[in-house]
Amino acid sequence: MKKFVLICLVAVLTCALSLCLLVGCKDSDKEAVLEVGGDVQLLDGVELDYDSMFFDDFTDGVSKDNWYIGKHSWGANGNGGVVPQNVNYTDDGVLVLTGNGEYYTSGNVRGVGQRKDGTLTGAALISKFVTGAGRYEVKMKILPRLGACSAFWTYAYDSETMGNHEIDIELPGGKTTGIISFQNVLNTNYITERENQSQDVSVSEVTDGKLNTLADGQWHTYGFDWYTVENGETFSGETTERDTSLGRVVYYIDGKVTAISDVFVPYYQVRLWLGVWFPNNAGFVGTANFETDCMYVDWVRYTPFKNQAIVEYAPALSGEMASDSEYPSAPVATTLVNKVANGDFEFAAKGATNSGWEYNIRVFTSEETNAMKQKIRDEHPDYSPSQVNDAYNELRKQMQGAAPSAYCTVSDGIGLQYSCGVRVTQIGLVSQIIDSIFEGSQLDFSFAAMGKGTVSVVFLGNGDDMVGEEVLTVDCSDWATFSKDFVAPKGTRRVEIEIFCTGEALTVDDVALRWGGIQ
């Protein structure tokens, strides 16, 4: 069992082989050609220092020798910060970093930022060691919901020079176009807050359509090669005379270059960070309209470059860190995350309102219109057709002018086994939108219900365009479980759950939509 490898012949040989398979071992006589969409490879004259490599696969959990666990917030974004409760690991060595969105209601996690109720809380590890120029890699599955930033980055801040030496890989991307999506990745490098280059990259374009979204539930290796000087260049180490055109950052995913930057390249020693956090800025990563989801990390590796100059620096920690007692002490089991927020409706027992469910008045169906008019005729056989229409229009106006609470009830005692549940009558409509469900997604949908009505999964494309629908019909006088597996049709970008009755009432509980990857 190992925590990490620093000097190990087997690891050196294994890593050398894996790097050859990942990026291709180049002929030493052939000049390196780096281009977006091409294979990542080392610049000419640059060598990897395997003897000083750091590697952690979290087999034995989160090492107190290697990592700080963040317990603080940053920025003035009104989030709950990063907290140690959201850091866990599995018995097979996978790091689990949990993010709680706007619809988190359980209250078991407490925030350390402006939010104290557990909403908008993430998780972060920060290296206890410092790093410099070299190859940075992480094999991970991102948290696949908008509003949460899954990130792998280096950071150091010098208050005397206002230097912000930072390199970021952040998801989702799309902020330059305003269409936030996991079909893009954001690659940014800084030397100050104002001196930075941010490249918003379409993963489909750089992979020739082989990879359309990074929210696919698959392991991907994200990385960047950070050079402080190029072959033949010199670097004095004097920050006041530093030529910021030197150096280069090469970003990549699964060995394919996504972006190259040769401006604003950091030159201070830094700390390595990985985690998920909440910018609370819809223009950056979207809005966190979900309850809970996770980012998973298989391993992280840093391999220094030989003969790459760096300004020696000990980056200060920017906030409080977890105590030793707050590190995870035992592995956790992982299950498929329920993409439906608060599907058990237990938020009602806590008096919470940030559930993710919307309560509305829907329009009448043609069948309901005909049935209402027939009922008016039966009750008033002397009515003329115009009087029937007038009576129907008045009744419809009264019903549709009512508050949604007249037809949608969430409370304790009406759910399965007298727990919390939702009851819908007449023209009530209960719904919830779930983002980042793409075409080809394998979905397992289930719920418990009694009464008469329908529970639907509506597949939405761009805007409100419907590209498909799965409808489950309920008609039972006692509780029953309904389930169906299906695949999201072409053009899907998100889904909407809709619940409405077609009889006197429909009561629903334990709604779940579990996502099993993309076909």
**pLDDT given for residue 234 in this prediction:** 54
For the CA atoms of 137, 138, 142, 147, the dihedral, rounded to the nearest 10 degrees, stands at -60
Beta bridge partner(s), residue 166: 155, 190
Same fold? 4-25+39-235+242-318, 347-518: yes
Least Cα distance to 365 among 431, 454, 457 occurs for 454
Q: Which two three-digit tokens encode residue 432?
A: 């919830």
Q: Which residue has the tokens 């008016």?
A: 376
d(CA 219, CA 297) in angstroms, rounded, equals 9
**Is the CB of residue 207 less than 8 Å from the CB of residue 213?**
no
With cut-offs at 50, 70 and 90, classify the pLDDT of residue 245: low
What is the arithmetic mean of pLDDT over 406-417?
Answer: 97
Look up residue 424 and give its amino acid.
Answer: V
Segment among 10-19, 88-97, 395-404 with least mean pLDDT: 10-19
- Torsion region of 59: left, alpha or beta (phi above 0 gives left; psi -120 to 50 gives alpha): alpha
Q: Tokens 């940075």 belong to which residue?
A: 136
| Furthest-apart CA atoms within the chain: distance in Å | 100
Instruction: Give the length of the chain.
Output: 519
pTM > 0.85: yes
How far is residue 382's CA from residue 363's CA, in Å, rounded to a whole number?
A: 28
Domain boundaries, the chain: 4-25+39-235+242-318, 347-518
The tens digit of pLDDT for each residue in 283-323 reads 899 999 999 999 999 999 999 999 888 999 999 998 899 99
226: number of CA atoms within 13 Å, CB side? 33
End-to-end CA distance of the chain: 34
For residue 8, pLDDT beyond 70 = no
Percent of the chain with pLDDT over 90: 77
pLDDT band at 453 (very low <50, low <70, confident <90, very high): very high
Instruction: Report the alpha-carbon distance of residue 280 to residue 435 in Å, rounded.
Output: 16
If you write DSSP's letter for every residue of 177-241 in order, what string do you get?
Answer: TT--BTTEEEEEEESSSSSEEEEEEEHHHHTTTS---S-SS--EEEEEEEESS-TT------GGG
Q: What percent of the chain has pLDDT over 70?
A: 90
Q: Do 279 and 285 form a contact (C-beta atoms < 8 A)?
A: yes
- Can you spell out the DSSP letters for 460-512? E-STT-EEEEEEEEEEEEEEEEEEEEEEPPTT-SEEEEEEEEEEEEEEEEEEE
Count of H helices and E strands in the chain? 6, 23
Q: At residue 375, what is the residue type?
A: K
The CATH architecture annotation of domain 347-518 reads Sandwich (2.60)
Comparing CA positions, the residue from 435, 406, 100, 33 lying closest to residue 277 is 100
29 Ramachandran zone, left/alpha/beta (phi>0; psi -120 to 50): alpha
CATH number of 4-25+39-235+242-318: 2.60.120.200, 3.30.565.10, 1.20.58.340, 3.40.50.300?
2.60.120.200
Name the pLDDT band for 31 (thresholds 50, 70, 90).
low
Identify the CA nearest to 449 among candidates 485, 475, 411: 475
- Per-residue burial over 122-148, b = 16 or more CB atoms within 10 Å of its CB, e = otherwise: bbbbbbeebbbbbbbbbbbbbbbbbbb
Considering only CA atoms, which of 58, 61, 112 is closest in space to residue 82? 112
Residue 264 has pLDDT above 80, yes or no: yes
| Interval 347-397: pLDDT, tens | 999 999 999 999 999 988 888 899 889 999 999 999 999 999 999 999 988
Residue among 435, 408, 3 nearest 179 (CA): 435
pLDDT (average), residues 392-408: 92
